[in-house]
């Protein structure tokens, strides 16, 4: 495929996303809309023969989407961000999640973490810029290489980063 043609990365992190994104005709509509468009589907399903058959098209490539588990600085920043979000009690479901987290002991010191985030990185406590600090400080070499190789004009995802494997793609797209 010619590298000078526009490219769209499409993240398909699991079977549910494959159903929603591939079997609804959206991929076919994209390809039909622009005859020069290249699609790169990024998915952990790339080695599944049925998946390969389903996405087979002359202008579609597949790349592996490796699992992602935040560690080190990224994990610490994520903990501060989550605590700040849960402390916001912005919706009823967030209030419920906060009560569950406290009851299960999965997130401790929510108030202290929120205060720390407000003092150290106030943008992490604000809805529109929660990810700004981590997006600036954390990089993912494999995602950087993927973007360098394909130079996508757009990234399409099935979720806003709720699936951790998608976070490196989102973070790299924001930076580029």
Angle between helix 110-120 and 72-88 (nearest 10)? 110
Q: 1 with 38: CB under 8 angstroms?
A: yes
pLDDT by 10s per residue, the chain, length 176: 456 789 999 999 998 888 888 888 888 888 999 999 999 999 999 999 999 999 999 999 999 999 999 999 998 888 777 766 666 656 677 678 777 877 887 666 666 666 666 666 555 455 565 677 788 889 999 999 999 999 999 999 987 777 889 999 999 998 88
Contact 168, 143 (CB under 8 A): yes
Distance CA 95, CA 92 (A): 5
Q: pTM, whole model, 2 decimals?
A: 0.75
Crossing angle, helix 92-104 and helix 110-120, to 10 degrees? Answer: 120
* Phi, psi (deg, nearest 5) at residue 8: -125, 125
CA distance linking residue 117 with residue 134, whole number of Å? 12
Hey, what domains does the chain have and what are their CATH numbers?
7-68+140-175 (3.40.50), 72-132 (no CATH)
Q: Where are the alpha helices (DSSP H) in the chain?
A: 15-22, 26-33, 49-55, 72-88, 92-104, 110-120, 132-137, 141-150, 167-175
């Amino acid at each position: 495929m010619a590298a000078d043609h526009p490219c769209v990365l499409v993240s398909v992190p699991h079977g549910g996303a494959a159903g929603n994104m591939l079997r609804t005709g959206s991929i076919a509509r994209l390809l039909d809309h622009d005859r020069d468009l290249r699609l790169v589907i990024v998915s952990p399903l790339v080695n599944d023969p049925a998946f390969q058959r389903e996405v087979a098209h002359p202008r579609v490539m597949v790349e592996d989407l490796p699992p992602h588990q935040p560690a080190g600085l990224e994990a610490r920043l994520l903990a501060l961000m989550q605590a700040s979000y849960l402390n916001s009690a912005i919706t009823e479901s967030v209030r419920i999640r906060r009560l569950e987290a406290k009851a299960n002991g999965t997130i401790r010191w929510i108030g202290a973490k929120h205060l720390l985030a407000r003092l150290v990185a106030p943008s992490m406590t604000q809805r529109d810029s929660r990810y700004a600090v981590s997006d600036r400080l954390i990089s993912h070499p494999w995602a950087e290489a993927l973007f360098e190789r394909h130079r996508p004009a757009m990234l399409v995802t099935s979720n806003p980063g709720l699936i951790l494997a998608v976070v490196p793609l989102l973070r790299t797209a924001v930076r580029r």
